[in-house]
Amino acid sequence: MQSVSGIRKVAFLGDYLPRKCGIATFTTDLRCAMAAEFPAMQCLVVPVNDLAEGYDYPAEVRFEIAEQDLPSYLRAADFLNITDVDVICLEHEFGIFGGPAGSHVLALLRELRMPIITTLHTVLREPNPEQRRVMRDLIQLSTRLVVMSERGREFLRNIHQAPETKIDLIPHGIPDMPFADPNYFKDEFNVAGKQVLLTFGLLSPNKGIEFALRALPDIIREFPKVVYIVLGQTHPHLLREEGEVYRLSLERLAKDLGVQKHAVFFNRFVEVEELMRFIGAADIYLTPYLTEAQITSGTLAYAFGAGNAVVSTPYWHAAELLTAQRGKLVPFRDARAIAAATVELLRDEPLRHTMRKNAYKLGRDMVWSRVAQLYGKSFAQARLEHSFVGRKSSPIKTLDEQPGQLPQLKLDHLFRMSDSTGIFQHASFTVPNFAEGYCTDDNARALVLALMLQKLGHGSPRLATQAAAYAAFLNHAFDRGRGRFRNFMSFDRHWLEEVGSEDCQGHALWALGLCVAQAGQGSFQMLAAELFEQALPVAAEFTSPRAWAFTLIGIDEYLRRLSGDRRANHIRESLTAKLMQRFADAATGDWQWFEDVVSYTNAKLPHALILSGSCLGNGAMLELGLKTLRWLIKIQTSEAGAFRPIGSNGFYPRGKERALFDQQPIEAQATVSACIEAYHATSDLFWVAEARRAFEWFLGRNDLGMALYDPGTGGCRDGLHVDRLSQNQGAESTLAFLLALAEKQALQNTLASFKEPAGE
């Protein structure tokens, strides 16, 4: 047994068993190996939970993180600092942490005072902008970087510009088992006297198992006793989204090919000890993955290191490992090549055993005890480098260093105002007003809110059910003959008009565009895309600038997913040109606005130009959006420095007095949203401060010093009158607050993850 000088306590951060995924298995195995190799070292674990109820963890788990909850990452950082952990060992994979491209983990790492050793389970050759930004900061924050293949080291150096001196190459660990004849284990699985092919791991379509099944008829003709074992349950995320569709398709394929007597599916997650017996019984291990972009494969490492003969497609890890007669590579998606390679190895026993011995010999450097020693060296080096650079200062922060506190999300009133048809328009105090019925405007906004909350990780079965109702309302509201949405519906489900306003059309297009853009909505997306395509053409006829603005925001979302749509691009160009021309026709030196009156939902006009200008790379459009938003903020700031929206009791006509009341929540929400968009376009923290000021209007920083948000119900009062608050909590006002809160939370997540000054 050994020790690592100066390191008494290590915390492992990542997924952990009994969560069923490859990272959880790796973290568990590594932690156990380190504890065994260095018994004086305390090895605790901080796992990330993808389920609200968490998992039944063992005693070494000391603190848990909720995947999408940024504050829980910051609390974890406090815990790790307070408990005086010496070293953090982070298992990194983009998909296991919350935030865009898993950026929430950066907020945690920035707060830590100890060295960080990051194992990169994925190193992308072609990262998207968010992934590249996360990787850049991850490299900067980590003291040492561990990769498991030479290709991973190459990508880190050449694509992500990581310093060579910071990188450690440590192979994926494997259990240490003796080199044994497969026949020793076959009795246990009732396959004695048969040739056994094996694939194991969590099932998902990228594994390419269908090509191995299609290879079986050719293999069986040569070796009639062959058995193909597919071991592993469907990936939990896939199971939640699609059920057993992939597994059932494989079983149907086996029957269609007539090989069902030769195919065995074990639908369960097996522990390491049982897994190694399955591997021991295999004559050939198959990994028919569909693409090259896999830098590390734990299943391949296990089978290879145990001395299996391997037939694999040439994904990156396999291409590197299976050289020098240590395995056979076959082209992607080529069942005949899989069959030919498998038959060759089954027929040529000396060749197969040579491959097995070569693999097993190299695998001795991959056993967990050896891997633990290498990690120990990396920990020691990180500790030395961190001590040389110097420890971080105290994590205690002054108020100006902290983000502003946001109210806790509460959806009670949203659900109270909603039923299976949709969301009611109005409330009498906090009780839904059935007499006023429903409208498309509010149901569109409610769908936008549901999608935003799901993206932030606040999804729930109740919210998903209501999102479906809001989407169904839009579908029912759409008159396919006219290509337009109806707006107002009575409580007894009768439409009260033939065609809704242009603003109603714009709201609907905004919600549908977001629905198309947001991944994971399944049939929602198909319905939304169909409705968006049919409803968009009439937007070219709109005369309302606000309808243009809402449509432009919807088009931007839609084109994030379907950027090649020529008609959507053409209509975007047309509407932005109209909006800019409207400004040119109306603006004068002291009146920097699009109309002769500043009326309602005003900030949506500059918002649309900022968003479109940024996406189109049109500097003039972007600057006009920023200029008009600055002017709007100036006229909506009180003498006391608070946000004062234009009152709806008369608005603000050119050359006349502006209405101070009634102030509406939708104006504050629109301003919050526009300022956040301006920040994303410019990175200027001025806009973060202005978004905060507009949001604080809901919380009491206003002309009456009274909060419109009601923390008891989760609703928002309908307006600020000259002498009082409205006591009604209708849909528009409640949605305005919740939308502003969701956007503020998303912004705060970004600021915390990527370490911008608070500005809040």
In a domain, 276, yes or no: yes
CA–CA separation, 644 vs 697, rounded Å? 8
Asked if residue 199 and residue 132 are part of one domain, the reply reads no
Asked if residue 350 and residue 466 are part of one domain, the reply reads no
Asked if residue 213 and residue 166 are part of one domain, the reply reads no
In a domain, 131, yes or no: yes
Angle of CA points 236, 199, 230, to nearest 5°: 65
- Point out the domain boundary residue: 559, 591, 610: 559
pLDDT tens sequence across 419-436: 999 999 999 999 999 999
Asked if residue 20 and residue 156 are part of one domain, the reply reads yes
Asked if residue 195 and residue 75 are part of one domain, the reply reads no
The fraction of the chain above a pLDDT of 70, given in percent, is 96
What pLDDT was estimated at residue 538? 96
pLDDT at 260 over 50: yes
Asked if residue 233 and residue 162 are part of one domain, the reply reads no
Asked if residue 383 and residue 342 are part of one domain, the reply reads no
In a domain, 14, yes or no: yes
In a domain, 329, yes or no: yes
Average pLDDT over residues 288-301: 93
Question: Can you give the residue range of the structural domain that contains 446?
Answer: 438-559
pLDDT tens sequence across 302-341: 999 999 999 999 999 999 999 889 999 999 999 999 999 9
What pLDDT was estimated at residue 758? 45
Asked if residue 153 and residue 53 are part of one domain, the reply reads yes
- Residue 116's contacts (CB-CB under 8 Å, 6 or more residues apart) are 87, 88, 90, 109, 141, 142, 143, 144, 382
Mean pLDDT of all residues in the chain? Answer: 93
For 651, the 3-state DSSP assignment is coil
In a domain, 643, yes or no: no
Asked if residue 301 and residue 390 are part of one domain, the reply reads no
- Number of domains present in the structure of the chain: 3
What pLDDT was estimated at residue 481? 95
In a domain, 163, yes or no: yes
Average pLDDT over residues 157-174: 96
In a domain, 206, yes or no: yes
What pLDDT was estimated at residue 403? 59
What pLDDT was estimated at residue 151? 94
- Residue 86's contacts (CB-CB under 8 Å, 6 or more residues apart) are 6, 7, 8, 9, 10, 114, 115, 383
Residue 696 pLDDT level (bands cut at 50, 70, 90): very high
Asked if residue 387 and residue 504 are part of one domain, the reply reads no
In a domain, 638, yes or no: no
Phi first, then psi, for residue 647 (nearest 5°) are: -75, 145
Kindly report the CATH number assigned to the domain that includes residue 65.
Answer: 3.40.50.2000
CA–CA separation, 608 vs 162, rounded Å? 38
Highest mean pLDDT among 271-275, 323-327, 603-607: 603-607
Average pLDDT over residues 650-657: 96
Asked if residue 111 and residue 42 are part of one domain, the reply reads yes
Residue 235 pLDDT level (bands cut at 50, 70, 90): confident
Asked if residue 200 and residue 144 are part of one domain, the reply reads no
Cβ atoms of residues 163 and 170 within 8 Å: no
- Point out the domain boundary residue: 530, 559, 588: 559
Terminal Cα-to-Cα distance of the chain (whole angstroms):
51
DSSP code per residue over 238-292: HHHHHTTHHHHHHHHHHHHHT-GGGEEEE-SPPPHHHHHHHHHH-SEEEE--S-S
Residue type, 681: A
